[in-house]
């Protein structure tokens, strides 16, 4: 797709990168995009990278993120994008699984990379000033390496991406994807949202995740430009749409909430911006409150709206798709996506359930992953006869609309980021004054959910919220730390399992942390 765009539209703008805090705007054409990806590919091949080797890719959103991503997969190697929020422990775990030979990373992660120094890595490609003496300067590669197509034969069934997604134990799970998975995602997205070469996709969510990037793939297959907005604020979004004639914006629930609050308060005024080009706002990654959509429609009555459901194991979004014509269907996630099949089965079995019955949602299509890398046992549990068990409890009504009911796992989704309670519980358990702990999701107007911790203190000990916050500062990334802490007894049933239903009934009451 990239090669074709470079041939058909060599001088057309492919990517724009905006960093408002630095008043920075950068752009490249399709020809430049393709040539720079070729340079990375040819350098990697010179350094001995072969098909099925792994190249770790640890960067924040930028044009260079996509250049490196395509450069890696042009070699036949696997791109291994890492979450830019990963801490040292996560990095060490992922590198031990991937056994990558090369890492491409930016200055922001230098200390972690130097501290860990994975034994399998023999080449460090560095994006930043003052390149360390034992590393290769990224910009020098772009200046000196060949821009010719590396001419590596790639088949649809070849693996090309290893994505780490959090597992039920809190450890990241390695999801293995193919070129066919990626192509399918592009085709589905283009069919769902009708991208043409005239579109401009404003890209905000992290590129390491399958979500936003696979949405942008609909623009890639269409030869349409994309604008990477590296810093979110309501004002930044409006300015990007207004100044760059953006047509599509994919937003997370917290961002929609922030934009609406800014409009309600008069901090943003529609008359100050030219938003006439903005034709579609679509949303996903977590349940969307119907009231949020209604409030959005009050400000943007003519704008198309869509909701999407997917997961990394299904190459991101698209398995369930509301559809532009069904935006007023309250509470529904959507209908089956193009090229997908859906069914509801027993939570602990494979028997298909009738319409309107709650069970586990299963999906089937060319987006289903190869499996969990190096974990055939878990793969066999989640993929049964081609059907991917999503772990989400849902029902499908007589008209084919899917409604999510609950999550099979105790997953907490904070602003689109998945958090598993056991990881937070394990960290809190390390505190010497803690006897027991349970972590649940607390409803939140802006983030959808926040992490709540119910902590049982050891007899004779006293513990404060501040002590817990101070303790977790070095245990967990900020987004995983509890926003609400309660000191109470943790109820367990006779088999020793925490009775989280009781805790949710008692403590999971809506809050509004924005105010």
Res 392: pLDDT: 83
- Pairwise CA distance, residues 326 & 182, whole Å: 26
pLDDT band of 167, cuts 50, 70, 90? very low
Mean pLDDT confidence for 278-283? 93
Mean pLDDT confidence for 127-156? 94
Q: Are strands 172-178 and 371-372 parallel, antiparallel or unpaired?
A: antiparallel
Mean pLDDT confidence for 66-80? 98
Mean pLDDT confidence for 86-106? 94
For the ranges 267-271, 281-285, 341-345, 350-354, the lowest mean pLDDT is seen at 281-285
- Pairwise CA distance, residues 334 & 350, whole Å: 23
pLDDT at position 319 over 50:
yes
Whether the Cβ atoms of residue 339 and residue 184 lie closer than 8 Å to each other: yes
Fold of 412-507: GMP Synthetase; Chain A, domain 3 (3.30.300)
Instruction: Read off the pLDDT of residues 224-243 as tens digits, 9 standing for 90 and up.
Output: 999 999 999 999 999 999 99
- The SS3 of residue 81 is strand
Instruction: Read off the pLDDT of residues 168-227 as tens digits, 9 standing for 90 and up.
Output: 345 788 999 999 999 999 999 999 999 999 999 999 988 998 888 899 999 999 999 999
Res 514: pLDDT: 36
Res 347: pLDDT: 81
pLDDT at position 273 over 80:
yes
Whether the Cβ atoms of residue 106 and residue 59 lie closer than 8 Å to each other: yes
Q: What angle do CA 485, 491, 464 make, to 5 degrees?
A: 25
Give residues with Cβ within 8 angstroms of 264, minimum separation 6: none
pLDDT band of 510, cuts 50, 70, 90? low
Whether the Cβ atoms of residue 124 and residue 103 lie closer than 8 Å to each other: yes
Res 513: pLDDT: 45
- The structural domains of the chain, with segments of one domain joined by +, span 412-507
Res 499: pLDDT: 82
- The overall average pLDDT reported for the chain is 90
Q: Are strands 335-336 and 434-444 parallel, antiparallel or unpaired?
A: unpaired
Would you say the C-alpha torsion 344, 349, 354, 355 has a positive or negative sign?
negative
DSSP code of 314? G
Res 496: pLDDT: 53
pLDDT at position 265 over 70:
yes
Whether the Cβ atoms of residue 344 and residue 359 lie closer than 8 Å to each other: yes
Residue with more model confidence, 216 or 448: 216
Res 17: pLDDT: 98
Q: Which of 489, 512, 480, 515 is nearest to 87 (CA)?
A: 480
Q: What is the DSSP string of 377-444?
A: HHHHHHEETTEEEEEEEEEE-TTS-EEEEEESS--EEETTEEE-HHHHHHHHHTSTTEEEEEEEEEEE
Q: What is the DSSP string of 248-263?
A: EEEE-HHHHHHHHHHH
Mean pLDDT confidence for 439-457? 91
Residue with more model confidence, 260 or 238: 238
Strand partners, 384: 387
pLDDT band of 166, cuts 50, 70, 90? low
Share of the chain above pLDDT 70, in %: 94
pLDDT at position 350 over 50:
yes
């Amino acid at each position: 797709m990239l090669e074709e765009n470079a041939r058909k539209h060599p001088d057309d703008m492919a990517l724009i990168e905006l960093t408002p805090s630095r008043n920075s705007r950068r752009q490249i054409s399709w020809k430049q995009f393709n040539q720079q990806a070729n340079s990375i590919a040819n350098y990697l091949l010179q350094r001995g990278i072969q098909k099925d080797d792994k190249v770790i890719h640890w960067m924040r959103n930028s044009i260079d993120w996509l250049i490196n991503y395509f450069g890696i997969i042009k070699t036949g190697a696997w791109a291994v994008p890492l979450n830019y929020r990963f801490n040292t422990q996560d990095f060490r775990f992922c590198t031990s699984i991937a056994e990558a030979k090369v890492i491409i990373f930016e200055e922001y992660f230098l200390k972690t990379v130097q501290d860990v120094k994975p034994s399998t890595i023999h080449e460090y490609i560095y994006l930043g000033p003052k390149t360390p003496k034992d590393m290769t300067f990224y910009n020098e590669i772009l200046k000196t390496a060949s821009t010719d197509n590396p001419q590596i034969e790639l088949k649809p069934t070849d693996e090309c991406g290893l994505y780490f997604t959090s597992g039920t134990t809190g450890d990241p799970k390695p999801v293995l994807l193919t070129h066919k998975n990626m192509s399918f995602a592009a085709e589905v997205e283009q069919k769902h949202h009708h991208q043409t070469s005239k579109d401009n996709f404003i890209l905000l969510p992290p590129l390491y995740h399958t979500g936003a990037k696979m949405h942008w793939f609909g623009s890639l297959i269409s030869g349409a430009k994309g604008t990477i907005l590296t810093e979110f604020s309501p004002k930044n979004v409006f300015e990007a749409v207004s100044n760059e004639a953006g047509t599509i914006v994919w937003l997370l629930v917290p961002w929609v909430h922030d934009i609406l609050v800014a409009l309600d308060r008069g901090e943003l005024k529609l008359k100050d911006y030219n938003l006439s080009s903005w034709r579609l706002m679509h949303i996903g990654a977590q349940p969307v409150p119907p009231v949020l959509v209604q409030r959005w429609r009050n400000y943007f009555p003519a704008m198309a709206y869509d909701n999407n459901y997917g997961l990394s194991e299904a190459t991101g979004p698209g398995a369930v798709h509301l559809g532009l014509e069904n935006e007023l269907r309250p509470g529904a996630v959507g209908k089956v996506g193009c090229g997908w099949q859906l069914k509801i089965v027993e939570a602990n079995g494979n028997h298909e359930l009738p319409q309107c019955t709650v069970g586990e949602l299963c999906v089937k299509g060319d987006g289903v992953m190869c499996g969990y890398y190096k974990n055939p046992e878990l793969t066999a549990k989640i993929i049964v006869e081609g059907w991917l068990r999503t772990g989400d409890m849902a029902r499908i009504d007589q008209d084919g609309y899917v409604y999510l009911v609950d999550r099979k796992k105790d997953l907490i989704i904070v602003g689109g980021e998945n958090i598993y309670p056991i990881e937070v519980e394990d960290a809190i358990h390390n505190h010497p004054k803690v006897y027991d702990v349970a972590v649940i999701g607390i409803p939140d107007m802006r983030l959808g959910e926040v992490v709540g911790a119910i902590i049982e203190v050891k007899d004779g000990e006293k513990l404060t919220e501040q002590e817990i916050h101070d303790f977790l500062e070095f245990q967990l990334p900020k987004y995983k730390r509890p926003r609400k802490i309660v000191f109470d007894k943790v109820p367990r049933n006779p088999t020793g399992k925490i009775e989280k239903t009781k805790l949710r009934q008692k403590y999971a009451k809506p809050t509004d942390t924005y105010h």
